[in-house]
Chains A and B, each alone.
Chain A
Amino acid sequence: MAKRIDISGLSAYYGSHRAIDDISMSVEPRSVTAFIGPSGCGKSTFLRTLNRMHEVTPGGRVEGKVLLDNEDLYGSGVDPVSVRRTIGMVFQRPNPFPTMSIYDNVAAGLRLNGKYKKSDLDGVVEKSLKGANLWNEVKDRLNKPGSGLSGGQQQRLCIARAIAVEPQVLLMDEPCSALDPISTLAIEDLVGELKSQFTIVIVTHNMQQAARVSDRTAFFNLSAVGQPGKLIEIDDTERIFSNPTVQATEDYISGRFG
């Protein structure tokens, strides 16, 4: 069920400002691809173009092609809603729905889309929570509000919510930046397990994290503040961290900027 993504000539804009410029790359199925790069280089924007969330921002617009198994996400007649059902997303800050219980949060995607059988729902919720390594912590309080959980638990709840709708691809936008090392470890382990089923793209500021969890790493950079971000290089994670082709990548990874 995992699919590959091929991006060609993709640029994204906020109004007239170009945030990312002419990016072409591929994301392999059943693997973890990490995006690294300095703040403001357009990693998150690029990630959001992959499930058409970029256009939700006022003034957001995209040029170029994103092929999901050879089907262009930006082709005419493509419904962004069905794109987002196929390509799920986990955000930087945990954002469980505050009006819903833990159970309802996980079931939200199915319930709101109306495509489910009532008898299946319990099973899906349990499977998703187990998939997100959260089941044992919350199984006795499924009807309590999701906002009562700790930050790390909330983030895993959001992951459970995202995988409950069984997407083909899971996009994660700095999922651990607000979490402590133990919760981070839990989520990294989870990413390692999830890649057997999903294609995963993860944005991170944490170099070690990229090295630990990803199979391939893409390095983004921008030439100056206000300039659009560019893809510098993408390669197997091992190569990026041991022997990158581009000098800028090595400088960034080893902490020597500029």
Chain B
Amino acid sequence: MTDVVLDKAPVNDTPPPPSSTLRQPRLPRWAPLGIGALSAALGSGVGLVAGLESRIQWGLIAALLYVVINYTLATLVEGSRQAKDRLATSVVWVCFLAAVVPLVSLIWETVVRGSKVMGVDFLTHSMNGVITLQEGGGAYHALIGTVEQVAIASIIAAPLGLLTAIYLVEYGGGKLAKAVTFFVDVMTGIPSIVAGLFVLAFWILYLGFDYSGFAGAMALAILMLPIVVRSTEEMLKLVPNELREASLALGVPKWLTILRVVLPTAIGGITTGIMLAIARIAGETAPILLLVFGSPSINNNPMEGAQSSLPYYVYEQWKLGNTASFDRAWAAALLLIIFVMVLNLVARAIASWKAPKSGR
């Protein structure tokens, strides 16, 4: 009912005075979209005319044009402050696309090529007795290897890293804590092949154990440890000190405060950190190459004998260099991505389930 009244422009239908400082000419709302389409067309046009083969070059030209046209138009129409705003916005958009396009194309490529041989057979068979030139065979043995090695590495590294982080945040503060932080930082930078060589030298050459999934898992644990420590440390630091004090003031001992108040508050972030660390080590090839040796047949025992793993399997199949093995390599890569993604989804589910709840 008020609509009728409002239709008759209740505020002001005379145009603002020309000297108004509050109103400035603006580009229409569809301008960014229009300029985007225009620069995409121009980029392709320039690319075609100049005979550039790579679509990446077309894209780069279009991106550059997008930023430049946006800035120029805005300068002409809206003035310099708005132009800077548009410049920043357009650069952010271009960077976003530059980050997302390779990611999407990578996943797309892996899905398209990997789904060719992906299936029940691929998931349930090993490469034992398969002539490598032929189709068939699968990655069951590699999947087993990855799952076991990653699980063992996590069982070693996750509690160790968690306890280290708890020490650093809740108890540390002296020289020891500084030293631990320093060495954790150094460990973050260890290349995976060095971790592999260390375990090779110590476990296999010096102590005389055989190649095994466990040896590989130890190297993976070395790689995983600093990531877990770092992420857990950050998460524990985020827990407000007031909560610790509230608990201590209730007469709760410190260890129980950490266990029942601090850790539950940070558990979402800690889980995410551990899962990211797992995702990181699940794709490692170098230590597996040195320590697990690789095997075409199923070996369920990680404590003895050669195993395989998904990244190693991809490497091995790719090296064989024929169509059938390429297909298998892509399928294993897809399997690895799915493995990591499932872990991530589980982590996110746990994080959102355990995260501190608000709301009434």
Contacts and interface: CB of A to CB of B under 8 A. Distances in A.
Bind each other:
yes
Interface of A: 51, 53, 56, 58, 81-86, 88-89, 91, 93, 95-99, 108-109, 112-113, 141, 144-145, 147-149, 158, 161-162, 165
The B contact surface, by secondary structure, is helix
B359 interface: yes
A147 B357 contact: yes
A58 B173 contact: yes
Interface in B281-298: none
A95 B265 contact: no
Contacts of B354: 99
Contacts of B358: 98, 145, 147-148
Nearest to B263: A99
B250 A144 contact: no
Interface stretch (B58-66, B131-139, B240-248, B330-338): B240-248
B251 interface: yes
A112 B260 contact: yes
Contact of B250 (A58, A141, A148, A161): A161
By size class, the interface of chain B is 20 to 34
Given A144-B360, A145-B357, A147-B356, A112 B250 contact: yes
Contact of A56 (B173, B248, B251, B265): B248
B242 A98 contact: no
B256 interface: yes
Given A99-B265, A145-B358, A108 B247 contact: yes
B303 to A, nearest CB: 39
B243 A95 contact: yes
A147 B264 CA distance: 15
A11 B65 CA distance: 69
A81 B358 CA distance: 30
B25 interface: no
12 contacts: A53-B245, A85-B250, A88-B249, A89-B245, A91-B245, A95-B246, A97-B261, A99-B357, A109-B251, A112-B257, A145-B359, A148-B358
